[in-house]
Structure formats: C-alpha cells, structure tokens
Amino acid sequence: MCELLLFFIRSLRTLFLEESSINDKDGEWLHELAVNNSVLETLNFYMTDLAKVKFEDLALIARNCRSLISVKISDCEILDLVKFFRAAVALEEFCGGSFNEHPEKYTAISLPQKLCRLGLTYMGNNELPIVFPLTNLLKKLDLLYALLNTEDHCTLIQRCPNLEVLETRNVIGDRGLEVLAQSCKKLKRLRIERGDDDEQGMEDEEGVVSQRGLIALAQGCLELEYLAVYVSDITNSSLECIGTYSKNLCDFRLVLLDREETVTDLPLDNGVRALLRGCGKLKRFALYLRHGGLTDAGLGYIGQYSQNIRWMLLGYVGESDAGLLEFSKGCPSLQKLEMRGCSFSEHALASAVMQLTSLRYLWVQGYRASSVVPGRDLLAMARPFWNIELIPSRRVVLPDNVGEPMMVEHPAHILAYYSLAGQRTDFPNSVIPLEPAAAVIPE
C-alpha cells in the first residue's frame, strides 16, 4: 500500500459510504482501516450493502478507535454486532441493525453504556428490553422504522426523562403524545411521519394524532423548537394552544391527512393567526391542508404575522387571487416559497412575487394557467437573473394496483429562481424555459 494512502487511512476521522455498494476491494480497504486507524469518530454505512463487510473488522475498528462516537449502518442482524458493541465503549450514537431471530436469542445483546442517540431498525415489542438499561440516558430516539404500536411507544417513552429528539410515525397516537408531554419535559424536536394506514384500523382511535395530542404536547413540552406532524383531525383551539405555550418554536410543519371524511373545525384562520402571533421565533413554516382549510382571510394572516419566516410550504390554502395578493403584502423575510394545490392564476402569482421582495425561489404545483398562451402572464415577474421554468400539465398512463393501465393527470408546475449563471441548458423535454419572447401571441 502506498505511503500516501496509508497516511490517509491513519488520519481519517469521518467515513461516509451512505447509499453505496461495497465491493471486494472496498472490503480490503476497510480491513486496512480497521488495522491502521485509531482516530475514527464517525462511521456511516446507512443504506449501504454490507455483504462485503466483515463484522470482525467492525469490532476491530471499535477496539482500535477508542474515540469512535457515531455509527450508522444498514439492515444487518443485530446478533452479528455483539463483539462490536462490547468493544465500542465510547459509542454515543447507533442507528441500524435488524431483528430476524427468535426473541430469546437477543438476551446476548448489551448496548454500549454511553449510547444516548439510538435508532434500531425493525425493533418490536419483544426487543424493547434491550433498550431499557439505557433509557434514562437517551437524548435522541429514532423509531421511524421500529415495529411498535401505541402501547409500546408509551412503555418506552415514559422511561426517557432526558429525551430531546424523537422521530416516529403517527402510530404513536394521541395517547403516546400525552405520555411524551408528561415524561419528556426536555423535548426540543419532534417529527411524526405518516405511517401505513393499514397498521391502524380506520375505526381504531389508537394510532391517530389529533388536536388532543397537540394540546397535551404544547402544554407539557415547553422547550419544543421543531414540530413536524401528520394529523387526522385539527381544531383552531389546538393551534392557539401551540401559539400560547410553544414560545421557542422555530420550525413548524403540519399536514392534515385525508383519512377522515370530516374535520372538526375548519377553516383554521383564527388558529393559524394565533399560532403565528405567539411563535415569534418561527423561521420555517409548512401548512398542508385540504380545500376549505384556510380562507383568503387566513392566508392574509399568514402574510401579516410571518415577520421572520424564511421558508414556507403552503398546500390547499386560500380561495382566490385576492387571498394570495393579501398574503404577499407581508412576509418581509421570505426567501423560499413552495405551494401545492393552488387555485391562483398566473397573473396573481406573478404579482405576488413582485411584492415579496426577499423571495429567491418559487415552486408551484397546480394553478390556473393562462387560457391564451400558457405561461404568458408569468412573464410579468421577469427581471435580470430571475429564471422562470414551466412544466405544462400532462396525462401519464400508469398501471393500477391490478396491473391495468390508468390515466393520471399531472398538474402544471412553475419553478422560478435567482441565478447569476443565467438560464440552465440541461432542460428535460417536459420543461419550457420562459423568456420575454414567449409572450408574443401568434396571430
């Protein structure tokens, strides 16, 4: 091995091989790393094929690199990591693994005693005892790929008084959020992704997040800075509660699912106003609703009370162009705006952009195109270094669940952004760059 490569291996402190494939040569290289490196701190093999990795080498890395702090790997049988866990005495973060054997075999697993950030893939109820000895130390818990129901979440969360970051699915339910609010007073970041609707029956109240859980969370976790959540139901009072108690909130993202036919309390105009007025530290804001979720007045409130927000995603909000224009009178700090399911015209979109003086990026999916020449009215926002791209609506044939062809309507898109490099030249066929010359109407 050349001296330069050996020096590189000995000096490496962070190794990322995320979403890649390790071949035979890489396996040899990793063995050299295990033998020669003593300073590695971070090892990331997440979404990587580990077929060519020898678990003995991972254990050797752990023994030699006594400052090894963070390891993320792909799905691999957790029992293959027993020696690694025994050697990794300084490990503070571990994500990955999987459980494919009979539950009684996992009594051999003993996780490093300094672990405070943990995510075990496909962990079920039977494997929870593996985590229990560490729960008092845990600051971050990733349950996005765990196989836990609402009761399991409650059992685990109530043992984690020092938890600061939790990532999970909406199977946590309102009851799980109530336990979280009672047990985890230091919580700063909560991310609740949408789970498989089939994992909860439509009639089952467990595994559903609604205003009940949000109110408990706001009242119990006063240090919350980040909240991203999919909800099945929502009320104005729950948003008002967040505005009242969550004074440290910097990033708020809420998606209203369509699994329920009716929502308790729409539109959410007053709740959104109260949330924005109360959470003055907000820098990022996402609100994805359904038709009727927010009126033009509510959209105007977002503009009026978003003084510091720099990034915003809005879905199915407002009723007409008037709401968008009222919105654009505010948002003095807004740099990036994304909108979906819009009822706004090209002319209103262009006018809004001209009023949003800090805007640097715009993405719109679904809007009312010009009836004469699509994209023509968008040119009202043309200016130096501002690129405008249009993807017209189109129909695409896709197979349905039983393999039969199905016609799907793809709505039109608008993308506009500042670039000192000028218009790009690598457009796919579906993209039309808009330039002033495109405003000419053919006779």
**103 phi, psi to nearest 5 deg:** -55, -35
Q: How much is the pLDDT for 27?
A: 58
Q: Let me know if residue 412 belongs to a domain.
A: no
Q: What is the mean pLDDT of the chain?
A: 87
The CATH number for 111's domain is 3.80.10.10
Containing structural domain, residue 40? 1-124
Q: Per the domain annotation, does 269 fall within a domain?
A: no
Residues 274-327: pLDDT tens digits? 999 999 999 999 999 999 999 999 999 999 999 999 999 999 999 999 999 999
pLDDT digits (tens, 9 = 90+) for 136-164: 999 999 999 999 999 999 999 999 999 99
Q: How far apart are CA 345 and CA 436, in angstroms?
A: 19
Instruction: Look at residue 137 in the predicted model and tell me its pLDDT.
Output: 95
The confidence band for 58, taking pLDDT boundaries of 50, 70 and 90, is confident
Residue 30: exposed, middle, or buried by beta-carbon count in 10 A (0-12, 13-18, 19+)?
buried
Task: Return the structure tokens found at 15.
Answer: 């190794």
Burial of residue 392, with CB atoms counted within 10 A of its CB: 0-12 exposed, 13-18 middle, 19 or more buried: middle
172-176, 377-381, 411-415: which is most confident: 172-176
Distance of CA 116 to the CA centre of its chain: 22
Instruction: Return the number of other C-beta atoms located less than 10 Å from residue 226's C-beta.
Output: 17
Q: Terminus-to-terminus CA distance in the chain, angstroms?
A: 72
What average pLDDT does range 195-202 have in this prediction? 53
| pLDDT one-digit tens code per residue, 394-404 | 777 766 665 66
Average pLDDT estimate for 251-264: 89
Angle between helices 211-220 and 173-183 (to 10 degrees): 10
Q: Which residues are paired to 98 by β-bridges?
A: 77
Judge whether residue 134 has pLDDT over 70. Answer: yes
Establish if 37 belongs to a structural domain.
yes
pLDDT by residue (tens digit) across 362-391?
Answer: 999 988 877 777 788 888 998 889 999 998
Spatial CA neighbour of 144 closest among 165, 129, 158: 165
Which pLDDT belongs to residue 421? 85
Say if 88 falls within a structural domain: yes
pLDDT score of 5 more than 60: no
pLDDT in tens, 180-191: 999 999 999 999
Inside any domain, residue 369: no
Which candidate, 213, 211, 284, 279, places its Cα nearest to that of 249?
Answer: 279
Check pLDDT > 60 for residue 26.
Answer: no
The least confident of 37-46, 351-360, 422-431 is 37-46
pLDDT reading at 19 higher than 80: no
Tokens representing 379 are 């040119």
Residue 96 lies in a domain: yes
Token couple for 185: 């007073």
How many separate domains does the chain show? 1
- Give the C-alpha separation, 277 to 244, whole Å: 9
- Quick check: is 49 in a domain? yes
pLDDT > 90: percent of the chain? 59
Q: How far is CA 33 from CA 38, 86, 110, 233, in A?
A: 9, 19, 25, 52
Residue 231: closest CA among 263, 274, 204? 263
Q: Residue 234's closest CA among 255, 264, 201? A: 264
- The pTM assigned to this predicted structure is 0.89
- Interatomic CA distance for residues 68 and 39, integer angstroms: 7
Residue 203 has pLDDT above 50, yes or no: no
Cα(28)–Cα(38) distance, integer angstroms: 17
What is the model's pLDDT at position 442?
35
For residue 28, being part of any structural domain is answered with yes
